[in-house]
Each structure stands twice: as C-alpha cells, then as structure tokens.
Structure 1
Amino acid sequence: MDYLIRPVRADEWQRMKELRLVALADPAAPVAFLETTEQALERPDSFWQERTARVSHGTSARQFVAEAPDGELVGTVVVLVEQVGAKDIFGIEIASPQAHLVGVFVRAEHRGVGLTERLFEAAMEWAWSLEEPAIERIRLYVHEDNPRAQGFYRKIGFVPTGMSVPLNGDAGGVDFEMAVVRP
C-alpha cells in the first residue's frame, strides 16, 4: 500500500479530531498521551479548528499525517518548536532551540509497514530545515511502561538523556526524555 506523508491542512480539523479520538482509545493511550478520551470529547469544535490551523503552517509547530490510498488518515506526529527561555509542557525552561515530537500515533491496522518511520522522517526533516531558530536537538518523552515505543525511538537514533518527569493522573509513573542531536 502506498501512503502519502504530508503536513495536515487547516480544513481537516474534523478528521484530526476523529484520529485523535481513535488514538486516545488505543490500549497504549494511558501511557502515551497526557489527555483522555473524556477530555478530548469535552473540547468544542473551535478548539479542534484552532489546533489544526496552528499546526498546518508557520514555523512554531507542524503536524504530519499519513494518508492511505483511500484518503483515510491513519497516522500522525506533531513537531513543537521550543524557543530558548520558554517553558515546556512540564514547566521546564528551554536552554537551547529544540523541537519536541508529540502525539505519535498510527492506527493498529496500519502498523508494521514503516509509517511511523516515515512520519518521523518528515517531522525531523522539517525541524532540521528551520533556519530560525536553528534546531539543535529533537526530543520526545516516553513513559517508563511503554517499551514498544522506547524500542522504536532507540531504533531510529533517539537516546535517553537522563532527564525524567514524574506524571500525575491516571497513568502516573515517569516519562523519560530521549533526544537526537543535530547531525
């Protein structure tokens, strides 16, 4: 099957909402996402419209999707550009220009065909291509109880940084930071 990997379009907010709800229903969701299905369902359409528009263009964030030949969106990853001095989602101050990968998901029936690798390739290529800020590293967080994701990230070159963040909420536990430095 030939999939198209591309940036999301602003007008695809309903499709992105549906894909997010599928992701949040996945068995790995409690340790993979910082949001629940219930929280996502409570959000108004304006939230999804703004969120999708924000990651469809510009240089502060970009969302990439995998589109199947029939047009179904089957996977996604989001790149957040983190500026020096800003605080990340855990309240930690950013020390150098970096990108943060979040929202990684591929529908179960499309796993094992290289889509996650292709999504990461597109996301990382975009991040490295930015001139301002020139990204020094790309990072992500992975839950201690998500060995499948940890293995994938290692396979594509991410290494543990030694940084970890304790989590509250249903999953609890710890998220480990992994990163790859500019080639």
Structure 2
Amino acid sequence: MKYWQLITSIVLSIFVFLMPLPVQAASSSSVTRSILNAVGGEDFSGKNLIRAEFTSVTLKNANFTNADLRGAIFNGVLLDGANLHGSDFSSGIAYISRFKNVDLSDAVLNDTNMLRSTFDNVEVTGADFTNALLDIQQLKKLCINASGTNSKTGVSTRESLGCP
C-alpha cells in the first residue's frame, strides 16, 4: 500500500510540473478600466474623483474645476479644451495623454507622473508641479508661459517646474 501511494504521488507530481498552463497576455488598457465611456463635455466640477480611472477616452471640453483627482489615472486620454482649474491632481498619473487648450491654472499636480503626455497651449498660471515627472520637451513648453503662485500651496509655478 505504501508503494502505491508513493507511485501515485510521483505520477501526480510529474503531471502537475510538466504540463504547461495556459497564459494570457494583457495590455494596460485591458487591465485598467475606465469609469465611463465619455465623449466630452462632461461636468465633473467639484466632484470627488480620488483614484478614478479614465482609459482611452475623449474628454473634450470636460469640466474638472476644483475636482479632487488625487491618485487619478488618465491613460491615453484626450483632454482637448478641458478645464482643470483649481483641481487637485496630486500623486496622479497622466500617461500618453494629450492636454491641448487646457486650463491647469491654480491646479495642484504634486508628485504627478505625466511622462509621455503632451501639453499644447496650456494655461499654467498658479499651478504647482512640485516633484511632478514631465518629459523635458514638455517642461520647456510649460516654462514659456509659467507664472503666478498657487493659492493653496503658496508655491511659485516657475519654481515648481524648475524653470530657468
């Protein structure tokens, strides 16, 4: 009887370790899920959107004025004409997103990762970018018109961007 148990456990072990298991690959857009299927013009002003996820959506002319976006994720999002005035996007991620004609004035973007995102004609007066990660080309674009001091943090926009 002891030999039977030993043989069975060996055969079972060989079967488990030598049989390949199926593997599934996933892209970042299939791993994360967006909170909505937006097309633009949505009003998120003053909303609590902590850790909200926006993936591969168009948020044209969306209003995020004074929204709480701490830890939010914008992955592959088009934010053309969006208003993020006074929003708190601290510790957030904006990866491969487009900020075109966007109002970031008086926004708090501390510790936000915005690598591979583009910024065209963006208003940054009073925005606080302390410890934010930006591509050097985009940083230079933002420094051209950077001015003012953030009303919540008291930090100069030019200083937070590290502008010369």
State if a TM-score over 0.5 links the two structures. Answer: no
For the aligned pair, the TM-score class normalised by the smaller chain equals 0.3 to 0.5
Higher relative contact order (CA 8 A, sep 6+): 1
Q: What's the TM-score, normalizing by structure 1?
A: 0.31
TM-score by length of 2: 0.33
> Per residue, is there more helix in 1 or in 2?
1
